[in-house]
C-alpha cells in the first residue's frame, strides 16, 4: 500500500476479497441499469413533449389521456431510476465505503501498534521530512475521505462507460442523413452528436484538470494546517493544568491564533479557486445542456430529417451523454481532495514501512549502531561500549558507558544531574533511543518491564490497566484483586470491570500517587525478572516511596531493578535495610557503576530524602545527633 494504485486495490485482493467483489459487482449492475434508464428517460421526455406539441391536432383523439399517460410513464421512470437504481446503489456504495474504510483502518492500526513500536519510531528521532505529521488525522479523516472519493470516482467512470454504450447505441439507431454530409449516410446526425461531445467535453476537461491540480495542492496545505491546529488543541487540553499553573494562557492563545491564521490563509485561497471552478462549471453546464446538446440535431430537424419528437429525444440523449462524460469535470474538486487524501495515506504507509527496521531508518539522519543479544540469565544484564547521541552524523555523544553489568536480583540506582541522560540510558537499553551505538546483552528467558510514572490510556477497564502489557484474559479477577491489594489500592477492587467511575475515566479518577500505586500492582501481577523504574515514584511522599519499593521487594524477590529517581539518597525500608545495592553515577557524560556507600543512619537518610524543614528543626536534629 505504498503507492496510489497499491492502496486502491489492496482491499480487493485481501482475505476479504469476496465481500469486496460482491459489493462492487452489485454497484456495477445498478450503475448499468441507471444508465439504461437514462435512455428510457430521454424517450419518455420526447413522447411527453410530442403529446404537448400535438395536443390540439385533429388526428389526436385522446389528447388528455395521451398527455397524462406519457407524464405518468416519465414519473415512473424517474422514480425507478432515482429512488430505485440510484438510491439502492447509494446504499450499497455506502456499505462498501464503510467496509473498505474499516479494513484499511484495521491494517494501519495493526501496523502502527506492532511489537516493533512503529508508532513511536515513526514520530521520534527523525527529520521532519521523514516523519509524517498528524498521524491521527491521516488514519481517521484521510482514509475516510479517500475511500469515499475513490468509490465515487469508480462509479463515475463506470457510468460514463455504460452511458456511452446505451446512449450511443440509441443515437445510432435513430440517426438520419444530414444534408451536406451525405457521404456518412444515415449515420450523419449521430456523427454530428458524437463530434460535438468529443470537442466540447475534452476541451473543458483540460481546463478542469488545470484547476484541479491547484485545488489538490491547496487541499494538502489545508489538511496540514487543520491537523496541526487540532493536534495542538488536543495537546493543550491534556496539559491544561500546567498552562493554568504557569499562567501561560496568553502564550497558548498566541500559539492558537498563529496556527489558525495558517488555516485562514489556506482557506481563503481555497475559497477563491473553488468559486472560480463553480462559475466555470455553471457556464459549462448551461452551454452543454442548451446549446451543444440541441445543436447537432437542429440541422436535420430544419431539413425535415427529424420530427419534433425525434429532435427532442435525440437532444435529450446527447444531453445525457454530455452529462455522463462530464462527470470528470463535475467531480474534479472531489478528485483533487481524493488525491490529497491518498497522498497523505500513502506517505503514512511509506513511513510505517520505512521504520520496520528502526536502525536503518535512523541511519538516514544520524548514527544508529545498537546491538542486542542474549545470554544465560545467571550473568544478568550487560552493557558494553555504549554511546548515546542526538540526530546528526557528527553529533558528539552526550553519554558514554564503557562496561556496566547488573547481576540477577541486584537493585541499581541511577544518579546524576537533571538532563544528564538517566532516562535516555533506560530508553536505549529498551530499544527506544534512536541514535548512538553499543551492545546490550539481556538475560534470556527473563520478562522485562518498563515502568514510567503512569499509563495514559483512556476508555479501558481498571483490570485492563492492571494487566498491561498483557491482556485481561491472561489473569483472573482474583489475581488482579490481590495485586491491587498489595499495592494499596484495595478500595478499587469492586470496580475491576469498570471503564470509568462517576462518569470519569481512570486517568481522571486516580490521583498521581494512586496512579503510581497502580504501577506497583502491574509489577506485582506481571512478576518481571528485569524491571526499569523511570521516575515511577515521583508523585509519592517518602512513606509512599518506601511502600512502593517494599511491595516490589516482598513480591518479586529475584527481580533486577534499574531505577531513575530525583532523590539524592535512595529510600530504605522501615527496618533501615537498603533496597538498592549499587549506583550508576553519571557525571560529565560518563556513566560509572559502583556499590552504594555504607548506609547512613536511618534518621539522617529520612531527613535527606525529604524537602529541607525549617531551620529550628535542623537545630533540634543536630542536638539529638550530638547527644548520641
Comparing CA positions, the residue from 491, 382, 358, 500 lying closest to residue 439 is 382
Phi, psi values for residue 586, rounded to 5°? -110, 115
Q: What is the pLDDT at residue 126?
A: 55
Q: What is the pLDDT at residue 614?
A: 47
Q: What is the pLDDT at residue 619?
A: 44
Q: Which residues of the chain have pLDDT under 50?
A: 600-601, 603-605, 607-609, 611-619, 621-622, 625-626, 628
User: Would you give the end-to-end CA distance of the chain in angstroms?
Assistant: 75
Per-position DSSP letters for 82-145, written without gaps between them: IIIIIHHHHHHHHHHHHHHHHHHHHHHHHHHTSTT-HHHHTTSSS-TTTSPS-HHHIIIIIHHH
- Please state, in angstroms and rounded to a whole number, the distance separating the CA atoms of residues 22 and 15: 14
Comparing CA positions, the residue from 568, 588, 564 lying closest to residue 413 is 564
Q: What is the pLDDT at residue 530?
A: 94
Q: What is the pLDDT at residue 540?
A: 81
Residue with cell 536511618: 602
Q: What is the pLDDT at residue 457?
A: 62
Helices (H), 239-294: 240-245, 249-287
Global confidence as pTM: 0.62
Q: What is the pLDDT at residue 26?
A: 93
What 3-state DSSP class applies to 607? Answer: helix
Phi, psi values for residue 540, rounded to 5°? -100, 150
Strand 368-375 versus strand 560-564 pairing type? unpaired
Q: What is the pLDDT at residue 600?
A: 46
> Under a CB-based contact definition with an 8 Å cutoff, are residues 451 and 533 in contact?
yes
CB neighbourhood size of 368 (10 A):
20
Phi, psi values for residue 16, rounded to 5°? -110, 35
| Local structure of residue 585 (DSSP, 8 states) | E
> Under a CB-based contact definition with an 8 Å cutoff, are residues 507 and 457 in contact?
yes
Q: What is the largest CA-CA distance in the chain?
A: 135
| Local structure of residue 473 (DSSP, 8 states) | G
- Please state, in angstroms and rounded to a whole number, the distance separating the CA atoms of residues 175 and 306: 9
Which are the contacts of 457, defined by CB distance < 8 A and separation ≥ 6?
Answer: 464, 465, 468, 507
Which are the contacts of 453, defined by CB distance < 8 A and separation ≥ 6?
Answer: 512, 515, 516, 519, 534, 535, 536, 538, 539
Q: What angle do CA 423, 428, 431 make, to 5 degrees?
A: 130
Residue with cell 493536534: 231
Amino acid at each position: 500500500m505504498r503507492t496510489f494504485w497499491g492502496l486502491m486495490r489492496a482491499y480487493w485482493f485481501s482475505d476479504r476479497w469476496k465481500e469486496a467483489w460482491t459489493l462492487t459487482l452489485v454497484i456495477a449492475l445498478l450503475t448499468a441499469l441507471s444508465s439504461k434508464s437514462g435512455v428510457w428517460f430521454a424517450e419518455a421526455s420526447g413522447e411527453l413533449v410530442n403529446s404537448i406539441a400535438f395536443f390540439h391536432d385533429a388526428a389526436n383523439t385522446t389528447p388528455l389521456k395521451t398527455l397524462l399517460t406519457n407524464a405518468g410513464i416519465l414519473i415512473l421512470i424517474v422514480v425507478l431510476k432515482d429512488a430505485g437504481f440510484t438510491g439502492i446503489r447509494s446504499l450499497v456504495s455506502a456499505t462498501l465505503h464503510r467496509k473498505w474504510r474499516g479494513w484499511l483502518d484495521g491494517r494501519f492500526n495493526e501496523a502502527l501498534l506492532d511489537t516493533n513500536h512503529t508508532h513511536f519510531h515513526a514520530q521520534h528521532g527523525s527529520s521532519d521530512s521523514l516523519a509524517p505529521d498528524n498521524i491521527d488525522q491521516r488514519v481517521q479523516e484521510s482514509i475516510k475521505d479517500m475511500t469515499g472519493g475513490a468509490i465515487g470516482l469508480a462509479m463515475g467512470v463506470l457510468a460514463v462507460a455504460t452511458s456511452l454504450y446505451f446512449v450511443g447505441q440509441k443515437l445510432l439507431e435513430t440517426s438520419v442523413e444530414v444534408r451536406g454530409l451525405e457521404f456518412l449516410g444515415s449515420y450523419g446526425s449521430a456523427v454530428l452528436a458524437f463530434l460535438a461531445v468529443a470537442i466540447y467535453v475534452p476541451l473543458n476537461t483540460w481546463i478542469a484538470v488545470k484547476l484541479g491540480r491547484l485545488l489538490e495542492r491547496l487541499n494538502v496545505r489545508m489538511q496540514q494546517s487543520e491537523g496541526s491546529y487540532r493536534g495542538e488543541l488536543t495537546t493543550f487540553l491534556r496539559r491544561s493544568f500546567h498552562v493554568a499553573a504557569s499562567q501561560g494562557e496568553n502564550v497558548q492563545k498566541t500559539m492558537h491564533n498563529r496556527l489558525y491564521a495558517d488555516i485562514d490563509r489556506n482557506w481563503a485561497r481555497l475559497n477563491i479557486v473553488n468559486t472560480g471552478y463553480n462559475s466555470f462549471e455553471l457556464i459549462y453546464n448551461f452551454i452543454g445542456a442548451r446549446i451543444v446538446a440541441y445543436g447537432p440535431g437542429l440541422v436535420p430537424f430544419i431539413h425535415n430529417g427529424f420530427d419534433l419528437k425525434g429532435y427532442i429525444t435525440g437532444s435529450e440523449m446527447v444531453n445525457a451523454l454530455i452529462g455522463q462524460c462530464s462527470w470528470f469535470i463535475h467531480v474534479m474538486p472531489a478528485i483533487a481532495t481524493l488525491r490529497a487524501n491518498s497522498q497523505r495515506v500513502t506517505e503514512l504507509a511509506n513511513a510505517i514501512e520505512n521504520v520496520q527496521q528502526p536502525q536503518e531508518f535512523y541511519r538516514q539522519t544520524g548514527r544508529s549502531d545498537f546491538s542486542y543479544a542474549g545470554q544465560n540469565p545467571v550473568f544478568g544484564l550487560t552493557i558494553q561500549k555504549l554511546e548515546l547521541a542526538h540526530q546528526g552524523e557528527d553529533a558528539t555523544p552526550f553519554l558514554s558507558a564503557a562496561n556496566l553489568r547488573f547481576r540477577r536480583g541486584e537493585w541499581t540506582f541511577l544518579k546524576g544531574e537533571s538532563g544528564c541522560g538517566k532516562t535516555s540510558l533506560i530508553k536505549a537499553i529498551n530499544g527506544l533511543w534512536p541514535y548512538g551505538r553499543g551492545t546490550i546483552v539481556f538475560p534470556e528467558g527473563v520478562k522485562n518491564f518498563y515502568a514510567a510514572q503512569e499509563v495514559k490510556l483512556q476508555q479501558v477497564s481498571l483490570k485492563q490497566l492492571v494487566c498491561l502489557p498483557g491482556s485481561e484474559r491472561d489473569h483472573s479477577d482474583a489475581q488482579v484483586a490481590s495485586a491491587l491489594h498489595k499495592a494499596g489500592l484495595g478500595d478499587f477492587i469492586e470496580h475491576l470491570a469498570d471503564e470509568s467511575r462517576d462518569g470519569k475515566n481512570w486517568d481522571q479518577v486516580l490521583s498521581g500517587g494512586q496512579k503510581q500505586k497502580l504501577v506497583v500492582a502491574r509489577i506485582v501481577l506481571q512478576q518481571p525478572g528485569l524491571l526499569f523504574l523511570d521516575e515511577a515514584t515521583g508523585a509519592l511522599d517518602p512513606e509512599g516511596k518506601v511502600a512502593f519499593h517494599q511491595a516490589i521487594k516482598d513480591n518479586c524477590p529475584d527481580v533486577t531493578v534499574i531505577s531513575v529517581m530525583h532523590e539524592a539518597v535512595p529510600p530504605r525500608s522501615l527496618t533501615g535495610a537498603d533496597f538498592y545495592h549499587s549506583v550508576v553515577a553519571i557525571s560529565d557524560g560518563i556513566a560509572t557503576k559502583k556499590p552504594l556507600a555504607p548506609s547512613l543512619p536511618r534518621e539522617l537518610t529520612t531527613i535527606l530524602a525529604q524537602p529541607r524543614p525549617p531551620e529550628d528543626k535542623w537545630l533540634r536534629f543536630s542536638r539529638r545527633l550530638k547527644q548520641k
